[in-house]
Structure 1
Amino acid sequence: MEFYNKTGKMALGSRLRRLSESLTEQAASVYQLYNIDINPKWFPVFYVLAEGEPKAIMQIAQEIGHSHPSVSTIAKEMVKAGIAMEAANQPDARKSYITLTEKGWVVNRKIQAQYTDVNAAIENALAETQYNIWKAIEEWEFLLEQKGLLERVQHERKQRESKAVQIVDYRLEHAQAFKQMNEEWISQYFKMEESDYKSLDHPQEYILDKGGHIFIAIYNGEPVGACALIKMNDEMFELAKMAVSPKAKGLGIGYLLGQACINKAKAMGATKLYLESNTILKPAINLYHKLGFKKVTGIPSPYERCNIQMELVL
């Protein structure tokens, strides 16, 4: 157990597998005790077939939560052992149905006493523990159905790496990165327009000198994201020129930049934030919704690519 004390929760799968292997090994001894000549791994399929009706492989797989290939392999082993057989004259000839043989039904009658004793033994073992493993397994199965382990690890990775991202005020040294990151995504989906060149070639004159602001995201000492606030009037700013480098995707940088812009706009006395985008940019639209923006209409746009306008009341 020292290994698991060292690794901690990281080895959850390995520890559960070790427990499973131990129980499976002991289960084989239990079957021998009752002179039941079946493989313990057959049990779920055997139990379902013992309900009486011939069943298709896919139906069994769905009932016991195993894969179709796994159930198919077990069924073949049971047929070879004379415990089960293929069932003829079934309604859907395209499917393979199996049922218990007479030998299988003899085993089923003998195994009932084993069921009674095993169930009592498990209940007594559960009573001796502080935590009910059966209920814990049910909880874990439910949790992993809602959000799998991979998704949970991806979230934690994103949270950890996001902490290394710094959102800083734009400086002259960021000019090339600000232009390059925006040109990259605009050219990928659309074409550069006159208003793009104005703000990207002359950010000081077109954005900053007019009362706006630009944020740059820094990761590992390198600019990997940018977003600007362009002043429209004393109460409204446009959130514009948001870009994230492809090499920094998945770190939540867009959200961090958006939050920085929202807080800055509030500090500068704005009551509304406005933006323009295109609905083919689904991740961006989802981000804006997450930040609280709502769709609006009626404001003239200088961009051909704009087909959606959104607004956030601060």
Structure 2
Amino acid sequence: MDLFEKTGKIALGSRLRFMASNITEEAAKIYELYGADFSPKWFPVFFVLSEGGSKTITEIAEEIGHSQPSVTKIIKEMTTAGLVKDNQQSNDKRRNIAILTEKGKELSENIKIQCIDVDHAIDEMIDEATHNLWEALAEWEHLFEQKSLLSRVREQKKARESKNVKIVDYNPKYQSAFKALNEEWISTYFEMEDADYKALDNPDEYILNKGGKILVALYNEEPLGVCALIKMDDPGYDFELAKMAVSPKAQGKNIGWLLGQAIISKAKESGASKIYLESNTILKPAINLYYKLGFQKVSGRSTPYQRCNIQMELNVKN
């Protein structure tokens, strides 16, 4: 079809639906060919009942991967056609079961003969084709189970957009962004504290002049992320990773990950052995990022921040 040649792979779903529609139309004609008054959409439910005897709606839905309302509707249609008996009481009075009628069982035997011819016809098409569609479908189903198409597209989007992210050293012209980005997330979840104002109002005095580092993430030259290394006077740690902030409008662009990697590299270049950080578990994306960067939870240290309820460390010598 010319349309799919023009659209390419982005129309995969549409192409599969088009093929499924054609196959369904063909299937209806095949049932007519064998004298079966049968709708193709009934087949999964009919097959399960013909193979397994009586089943509850829930059992059928789980086995064929359909919703319970969908199965219920099909059962009602098949009951009207005289193929299924519904509302048969099970030992558990709260559950109703469905079972094939004598007419349904007779049709099942006839369909088995039909299936032999259909199998041979499909095998013939597979032999004529370059690729085995049946095996390919099984492989693709497995791939979807491993990772959804949405997840794969999200990763590609993040990878593409992250190419427009540039990590640069702090410059006084970024002071307002350094403060605004941090104020934004702190004020959203907590309250600004004295220690925040010290670092954000005077980054040169409080961070840089004491041997610390500040990095800025530019997305299309706009500062949308920041992160700092604060030099620590502590026998156990060289730096504290602090004041990491990413603008909400930059979420999904991998900026947090890129900043984290870059700031850790700065710590290594400075000869650091361990980095420390403080956060709050309400900030789940941030905590997940820290774990992804290699930080591990520690406890027992005093903190100037009321909002801190988790402390973490990273051994950068590993």
Contact 1:244 1:253 in 2 (8 A): yes
Contact 2:31 2:37 in 1 (8 A): yes
- Aligned counterparts, 1:250-269, within 5 A: 250-269=252-271
Cα distance in 1 for residues equivalent to 2:286 and 2:45? 48
Letter in 2 for 1:33: L
The alpha-carbon deviation at position 232 of structure 1 amounts to 2.1
SS in 1 for 2:181: helix
SS in 2 for 1:66: coil
Residues 93 and 300 of structure 1: CA distance in aligned 2, closer, same or farther (over 3 Å): closer
Cα distance in 2 for residues equivalent to 1:39 and 1:8? 32
Contact 1:87 1:99 in 2 (8 A): no
1:136 aligns with 2:121: no
Letter in 2 for 1:265: A
Who is 2:286 aligned against?
Answer: 284
The alpha-carbon deviation at position 304 of structure 1 amounts to 2.8
Who is 2:169 aligned against?
Answer: 169
The alpha-carbon deviation at position 243 of structure 1 amounts to 0.8
Who is 1:113 aligned against?
Answer: 113
1:40 aligns with 2:33: no
Who is 2:208 aligned against?
Answer: 208
Letter in 1 for 2:181: M
Cα distance in 1 for residues equivalent to 2:206 and 2:145? 50
Cα deviation code 1:285-313 (max 9, x no counterpart): 11111111122345443323323222222
Who is 2:11 aligned against?
Answer: 11
Letter in 2 for 1:76: K
Residues 139 and 52 of structure 1: CA distance in aligned 2, closer, same or farther (over 3 Å): closer
Letter in 1 for 2:215: F
Contact 2:53 2:100 in 1 (8 A): no
Who is 1:249 aligned against?
Answer: 251
- Aligned counterparts, 1:124-203, within 5 A: 124-203=124-203
Q: Which runs of 5+ in 1 are unaligned?
A: none
Who is 1:2 aligned against?
Answer: 2
Contact 2:296 2:314 in 1 (8 A): yes
Contact 2:89 2:97 in 1 (8 A): no
Q: Please, which of 297, 303, 306 is the counterpart of residue 305 of structure 2?
A: 303
Who is 1:78 aligned against?
Answer: 78
Letter in 1 for 2:252: G
Residues 88 and 300 of structure 1: CA distance in aligned 2, closer, same or farther (over 3 Å): closer
Cα deviation code 1:101-156 (max 9, x no counterpart): 22222212222211211122222322333322222111221221222222222222
Cα distance in 2 for residues equivalent to 1:292 and 1:97? 52
Letter in 1 for 2:25: E
Segment of structure 1 superposing worse, 85-94 or 16-25: 85-94
Cα distance in 1 for residues equivalent to 2:242 and 2:63? 53
Identity %: 59
Who is 2:30 aligned against?
Answer: 30
Letter in 1 for 2:159: Q
Cα distance in 2 for residues equivalent to 1:281 and 1:288? 11
Letter in 2 for 1:274: Y
Cα deviation code 1:74-100 (max 9, x no counterpart): 111111112222253322343332222
SS in 2 for 1:35: coil
SS in 2 for 1:209: helix
Cα deviation code 1:142-184 (max 9, x no counterpart): 2212222222222221222221122122111211111111122
**Alignment: residue pair count:** 314
Contact 2:89 2:95 in 1 (8 A): no
The alpha-carbon deviation at position 217 of structure 1 amounts to 1.3
Segment of structure 1 superposing worse, 250-259 or 125-134: 125-134
Segment of structure 1 superposing worse, 253-262 or 41-50: 41-50
Who is 1:55 aligned against?
Answer: 55
Contact 1:55 1:98 in 2 (8 A): yes
Letter in 2 for 1:289: Y
1:238 aligns with 2:240: yes
The CA RMSD over aligned residues, in Å, is 2.0
Cα deviation code 1:220-247 (max 9, x no counterpart): 3322111011122598122111011122
Letter in 2 for 1:312: L
The alpha-carbon deviation at position 54 of structure 1 amounts to 2.2
Segment of structure 1 superposing worse, 1-10 or 296-305: 296-305
Residues 124 and 200 of structure 1: CA distance in aligned 2, closer, same or farther (over 3 Å): same
Cα distance in 1 for residues equivalent to 2:309 and 2:89? 60
After TM superposition, the score normalised by the length of structure 1 is: 0.93
